[in-house]
């Protein structure tokens, strides 16, 4: 069964979702192989499938459903600063937002480049509370959220 990837950060990658997708060499799924902290051996990853200009990777149904569930607790945001404002580091942005959201716990942000960040929350309720803000005035600049 073929479907388009639901993760916005991977929207250009088309995925194939079979019932079981394990590499015959290592016995690990593609996601498990990438999440290992040791040396990455490309020969042990499941093969990619190139069809025309699109690249496909087989993933298991369980990994696919885990990724869809994770998207339900995440948002994207973009920091926009005024001309002449010093750039914000990821750590300084996290500290500034922690002060603005003292009642939110266990959230994380990942820089995506060019002022974009991915915010992961521990619950869908926390994500919805932040999503309801839409824009946060950080003085200097502001942070706008996207689903």
Q: What is the pLDDT of residues 77-107, one digit of tens each?
A: 999 998 888 888 899 999 999 998 989 889 9
Q: Is the dihedral of CA 5, 51, 12, 33 positive or negative?
A: positive
Structural domain including 61 reads: 2-71
Predicted pLDDT of residue 14 = 42
Query: Domain tally for the chain?
Result: 2
- Where is the domain boundary, 13, 46, 71? 71
Note whether 52 and 13 are same-domain residues: yes
Note whether 62 and 95 are same-domain residues: no
Note whether 91 and 65 are same-domain residues: no
**pTM exceeds cut of 0.85:** no
- Where is the domain boundary, 56, 71, 86? 71
Q: What is the DSSP string of 26-59?
A: TS--HHHHHH-SS---GGGSPPEEEETTEEEEB-
């Amino acid at each position: 069964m073929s479907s388009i990837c639901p993760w916005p950060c991977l929207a250009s990658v088309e995925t194939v979702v079979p019932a079981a997708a394990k590499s015959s060499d290592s016995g690990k799924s593609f996601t498990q192989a990438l999440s290992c902290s040791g040396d990455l051996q490309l020969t042990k990853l499941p093969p990619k499938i190139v069809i025309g200009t699109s690249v496909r990777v087989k993933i298991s149904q369980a990994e696919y459903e885990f990724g869809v569930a994770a998207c339900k607790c995440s948002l994207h945001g973009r920091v926009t600063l005024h001309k002449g404002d010093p750039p914000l580091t990821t750590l300084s942005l996290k500290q500034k937002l922690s002060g603005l959201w003292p009642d939110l716990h266990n959230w994380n942000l990942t820089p995506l480049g060019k002022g974009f960040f991915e915010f992961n929350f521990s619950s869908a309720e926390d994500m919805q509370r932040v999503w309801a803000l839409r824009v946060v005035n950080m003085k200097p600049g502001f942070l706008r959220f996207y689903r």
